[in-house]
Structure 1
Amino acid sequence: MKQLRVRILGFLTLTLVVFSILFIYMATAIIERQALTQQGTDLSVQLRTLESQLDSNDLTETDLDMISAQLESTALVIEERITLIGTDGEIWYDTHAPIDTLENHGDRPEIQQAIEGEAIGDFSRTSESTGDTLYYVATPLINADGSVIGFLRLSKRIEDMSGVTDQLVQALLIFIVIAVLVALIYTQYWTRKITRPLNNIKTIADVLSYQDYNVRYYSSSYKEVDELGQSINNLAVNLNSQMNEITENELKLKELINHLVIGVLVVEKDKTISMINPAMTNVLGEDLFGKVDRPFYEGLHSSDLIAMIEKAMQTQTIQNREIQMIYPKEKIVDVNVVPVISDSLETINYIVLVYDITEIRRLEKVRSDFVANVSHELRTPITAVKGFSETLLDGALKDEAVLVEFLEIIYKESSRLDAMVNDILHLSKLEQRQVSDVREKVKVKAVAEEVIQILHQKIDAKQITVQLTDRDQAELTIDPGHLKQIFINLLANAVSYTPQNGEVSVLIEKIDTEVVLTIKDTGIGIPQDQLNRIFERFYRVDRARSRNMGGTGLGLSIVKWIVENNNGRIEVESTEHKGSIFRVILPISN
């Protein structure tokens, strides 16, 4: 803005100087011309006055000496040069130069004009006798006969005639200088009053460009400039509002992306990673935040995923596919690569969406296996019931021994079928939350004693010793039915797989904010390679023996579901032919 003020002042100064010079030149010419005209007129009037005072009516050309004598007295009171010239051009009298030094003036323009009949002849030139630039006026002297007896001439220095002009020009020059100074001072004040607010507005605009929207312009100049400043203020307010909205939307979007269960990766046109969310690192099993601003093929280890991104870049189309990842952990993921295209049909970047469907595929397999297992498990008792029933209908009813044996088998298989259906229905209700979820404070030992009483026939039949220990009089806030199911399934398994005269112990203890239920038996044990599968539905370590013992293969699945949905966990330790230990850890309060 300082340069603008200097330019305005420079331009104004130059304009004023140029126009002042032109004005002075034109005014000087006009005034000087007007002054010369006026002085010439005055000099002509003075000549006529002087001529009228001379008594030339009765004179002849030889009496010019008498006129010269009259002129000497007049020369004493006027400053103009008086010259008396004869008709032959000879000088008879001159107030400023000796006549013997003057040449013949008959050829002078003013004399020639008078000879030619002009009342007054006038001309300006440099005098040869004095060297001054003079203005001449001449008139003929006419006697009573009408004869020209000579010429009377007055002359005056041009410098004397233009003296007033010089004074006017000087006064005008002083006035112009003062006017220019006043104009420059006012212009300086005016430009400063404009440029300072403009400079302030420029500073505010620069600050706004750095996204600081708290600056404001305060009125300090002319209305038009202040209106511009107010517009800048309105712009700052609007930008601040828009930036707050953008920031809020970005925060919402960031939180949304960061809390998505789907992995999100943004790849720019130059193949660099510009954004990644935590879910992507979880899905891929490696920290990719350190790979931002680096090429995506350096951060990703799946060749299939890299190939999908490359194909999307080449074809500019959405790519979707399930791929299996090996490193760092085997997973199945659903991948979508979406090109983001602007209104101008130019690709901005590429969004890579990765969803871990490993568990979904596992559950699908579990469901498939469940249907197959249910079909297989139901086929055996149904086939047995159907087969023995047909045998009885074909004539075995008459043999009482065979009838009783077959009916006992049919009853046993139907009982196992009933237990299996009940377990399936119970597990289904648990998973669909169709069972009561009323929680209350329960004494753990009382529930364990109730279950032991329910199983006492099996326990007594195998003469198994059951030892129950409650060290801390533990209590749990839980659905009593859930706790009862845990004890029934674990104790029933312990009794079923423990040989004659074996031992089963139940230990109840409180550790910090948890209650630990430990059920230990001296049974047949579980092989180490099958420990991670015993909680699968219908999975049996020894299928033949399990069926003979009436097991449905769903008990441990029910226990695991109940424990996990009560924020607990279940652990198992086992050694073949030595027994197993099941440990259930539940929080005291849910």
Structure 2
Amino acid sequence: MKKMQTRMILFFTLILLTFFVVFISIISSGIKEQSIEQQEEALNTQLLVLGSQLTDIEEPTEKSEVLINQLESASQVINERITLIDLSGDVLYDSRVQADQLEKHLNRPEIMQVIRGKKIGTYHRRSESTNEMLYYSATRIENTESGFAGYLRLSRDAEEIIGITDELMLTLVLFLITAILIVFLFIRYWARKITRSIENIRNIANVLSYQDYSVRYHPGSYKEIDELGTSINELAINLNNQMSEIKESELKLKELINNLVIGVMLVEKDKQINMVNPAMNELLGEDLNSKQGTSFFESLHSSELIATIEKAFITEQVQNREIQMYYPEEKTMDVHVVPIFNDSLETLNFIVLLYDITEIRRLEKVRTDFVANVSHELRTPVTALKGFSETLLDGALNDSDVLVEFLEIINKEAGRLDTMVNDILQLSKLEQRQDNSVKDRISVNETVDEVLKILSHKISLKDIHINIISQKDVEIEINPDHLKQIIINLVSNAVAYTSEKGKVTIEISTADDKLKLSVIDNGIGIPKNQLSRIFERFYRVDKGRSRNIGGTGLGLSIVKWLVENNEGHIDVKSEVNEWTHFTVWLPLTVLDNNSMRKR
């Protein structure tokens, strides 16, 4: 901005100087010409007046002594140099120089002009006798009485005229210099005021370019510049509002992307990874944030994923594919690669979406297996019912012993079928969230007593000894039917898989605001390699024996579902032919309005 200020000052100063130089030159030339004209006119007037006086002389004298005397008297009155020249060019008289020292003057320009017929001859030159710059004016004089004829010449020092002009010009130059100085100071002040405001606006624009929108322009210059500064202020306010909206949108988008369960990765056109959300890092089992700026070829380990992204780059079309990943663990992934285009339909980058569908595929398999298992499990009692009923219809009704035996089998299979259907309906009802009973504060000990009464017949048939260990009367906030169903299934299984006169222990205690409910038996036990599968639907350790004791294979699945949906968990330990130990952990309180409360 200082360069601009300097250029403005120099420019206007140069213009002023040029104008003043031209002005002074013109004025000086005009004044000199006018002064010379005035001096010539005055000199000519004096010459004519003096010449008229000389022509009035009546008495003839030798060598014009009277005329010379008269010229000497006149030279004392006027300051001009007087010269009298005869027709032959000899100087008869000169008021400044001795006449006999002067050469002939017939060839002088002013005399030559008179000889050619001009009334007054004028010329200015440097005098050879006095070495002065003189203005000359000459005329012809004749005295008819005396018979004298010659030339009268007056000359005036040009330095006097030039001196007057120089004094005038000096005064004018001093005035102009003063004017130039004043104008220069004004231009400097004006330029600094303009450039300072422009510099301020430029600095504000520079600060705005660094996204600092707090700066403002404060008016203090000319109206037009202040209006520009006001526009800059409005621009800063609008940019600040827009940047706030952009940052808010970016924050919302970032939070949205970071909290998506779907993995999101942005790959630039040069195939370098630009952005990765936490879900993508979790799904791929590595930190891709540290690999931003590197090629996805180098960063990803799944060849199928790389091939899908590469195909999207080649075809510039959306790619959707289900792939298997084996690092860091085996997963089934749904890959979606979407190209992003600009307004000119040029590809800017690609968004890679990764969704873990391992659980979906597992549930689909579980559903398929469930249908197959249900069909298989239902087929056995249905086949038995149909077979024995057909046998009876074919004539076995007449044999009372066979009739009773078959009816008992039919009743047993019908009961088993009824139990299986009830378990299937209950499990389906639970999974569809149709069991919305209100939770209540109940006694765990009383619920255990109720269950033992329900199972008393089954317990007495095998003469099972039930041992209850409880520190105190424990209360829990839960759906009463859920707790009862959990205890029924666990105790029923313990009784079913324990030999006659065996022992089942029920332990009730609390720890860390949780209910610890354990059911321990000394029955046949469960092999360790099958402990992880006993909660699967229709899974049985010994299928033949399970059917014989009336098991449906759904009891433990129902228990696991009830426990987990009441924010608890279940553990199992076992030794074959020694013991089995089930432990259920349930919170004593429920979550209400995002806080834990006790009743």
Query: Is 1:150 the equivalent of 2:150?
Result: yes
3-state SS of the aligned residue for 2:572? strand
> What is the match of residue 291 of structure 1?
291
> What is the match of residue 563 of structure 1?
563
Q: What does 1:246-325 align with in structure 2 at a 5 Å threshold? A: 246-325=246-325
2:263–2:353 Cα contact (<8 Å) kept: yes
2:522–2:578 Cα contact (<8 Å) kept: yes
1:60–1:149 Cα contact (<8 Å) kept: no
Q: What does 1:520-535 align with in structure 2 at a 5 Å threshold? A: 520-535=520-535
3-state SS of the aligned residue for 2:352? strand
CA distance in 1, matches of 2:402, 2:60: 201
Alpha-carbon distance change, 246 to 61 in structure 1, aligned in 2, over 3 angstroms: farther
CA distance in 2, matches of 1:463, 1:306: 65
1:305–1:323 Cα contact (<8 Å) kept: yes
CA distance in 1, matches of 2:45, 2:168: 24
Query: Is 1:209 the equivalent of 2:209?
Result: yes
3-state SS of the aligned residue for 2:580? strand
CA distance in 2, matches of 1:523, 1:52: 172
Q: What does 1:10-89 align with in structure 2 at a 5 Å threshold? A: 10-56=10-56, 58=58, 64-89=64-89
1:505–1:521 Cα contact (<8 Å) kept: yes
Deviation at 1:59, TM superposition (A): 5.9
Q: What does 1:366-515 align with in structure 2 at a 5 Å threshold? A: 366-515=366-515
> What is the match of residue 544 of structure 1?
544
Greater shift in the superposed pair: 492-501 or 386-395: 386-395
Deviation at 1:293, TM superposition (A): 2.6
Deviation at 1:95, TM superposition (A): 0.4
CA distance in 2, matches of 1:441, 1:284: 45
Q: Which amino acid aligns with 1:129?
A: S
CA distance in 2, matches of 1:74, 1:468: 166
Query: Is 1:572 the equivalent of 2:572?
Result: yes
CA distance in 2, matches of 1:208, 1:338: 36
Deviation at 1:355, TM superposition (A): 0.3
Q: Which amino acid aligns with 2:28?
A: T
Alpha-carbon distance change, 116 to 60 in structure 1, aligned in 2, over 3 angstroms: farther
Q: What does 1:109-128 align with in structure 2 at a 5 Å threshold? A: 109-128=109-128
Q: Which amino acid aligns with 1:535?
A: F
Deviation at 1:126, TM superposition (A): 2.3
CA distance in 2, matches of 1:251, 1:562: 40
1:86–1:150 Cα contact (<8 Å) kept: yes
Deviation at 1:143, TM superposition (A): 3.5
Alpha-carbon distance change, 111 to 464 in structure 1, aligned in 2, over 3 angstroms: same
Any gaps of 5 or more consecutive residues in structure 2?
Answer: 591-599
Greater shift in the superposed pair: 518-527 or 139-148: 139-148
Q: Deviations over 1:102-137 (max 9, x none)?
A: 122223222232233322221122222222222111
3-state SS of the aligned residue for 2:328? coil
CA distance in 2, matches of 1:146, 1:509: 172
Greater shift in the superposed pair: 222-231 or 294-303: 294-303
Cα RMSD (Å) of the superposition?
1.7
CA distance in 2, matches of 1:96, 1:146: 26
2:519–2:581 Cα contact (<8 Å) kept: yes
Query: Is 1:167 the equivalent of 2:164?
Result: no
Alpha-carbon distance change, 463 to 96 in structure 1, aligned in 2, over 3 angstroms: same
CA distance in 1, matches of 2:29, 2:60: 45
Any gaps of 5 or more consecutive residues in structure 1?
Answer: none
3-state SS of the aligned residue for 1:261? coil
1:262–1:356 Cα contact (<8 Å) kept: yes
1:388–1:410 Cα contact (<8 Å) kept: yes
CA distance in 1, matches of 2:134, 2:287: 109
CA distance in 1, matches of 2:27, 2:59: 48
Deviation at 1:567, TM superposition (A): 0.3
Alpha-carbon distance change, 49 to 380 in structure 1, aligned in 2, over 3 angstroms: same
Q: Which amino acid aligns with 1:135?
A: Y
Q: Deviations over 1:316-350 (max 9, x none)?
A: 22221111111111100001122222223332222
Q: Which amino acid aligns with 1:267?
A: V
3-state SS of the aligned residue for 1:559? helix
3-state SS of the aligned residue for 2:77? coil
> What is the match of residue 333 of structure 1?
333
TM-score after normalising by structure 2: 0.95
Q: Which amino acid aligns with 2:523?
A: G
Greater shift in the superposed pair: 437-446 or 2-11: 2-11
Q: Which amino acid aligns with 2:107?
A: D
CA distance in 1, matches of 2:452, 2:199: 93
CA distance in 2, matches of 1:145, 1:386: 189
CA distance in 2, matches of 1:237, 1:563: 58
Q: Deviations over 1:350-398 (max 9, x none)?
A: 2111100000000000000011011111111111111111111112111
> What is the match of residue 138 of structure 1?
138
Alpha-carbon distance change, 151 to 502 in structure 1, aligned in 2, over 3 angstroms: same
3-state SS of the aligned residue for 1:125? strand
Q: Deviations over 1:6-46 (max 9, x none)?
A: 22222233333333333222222221111111111111112
Q: Which amino acid aligns with 1:230?
A: T
1:47–1:154 Cα contact (<8 Å) kept: yes
Deviation at 1:62, TM superposition (A): 5.7
Q: What does 1:171-190 align with in structure 2 at a 5 Å threshold? A: 171-190=171-190
1:57–1:144 Cα contact (<8 Å) kept: no
CA distance in 1, matches of 2:319, 2:148: 127
CA distance in 2, matches of 1:148, 1:416: 179
Deviation at 1:549, TM superposition (A): 1.1
1:61–1:86 Cα contact (<8 Å) kept: no
Deviation at 1:492, TM superposition (A): 0.8
3-state SS of the aligned residue for 1:328? coil
Q: Which amino acid aligns with 1:174?
A: L
Deviation at 1:411, TM superposition (A): 1.1
Deviation at 1:55, TM superposition (A): 4.7
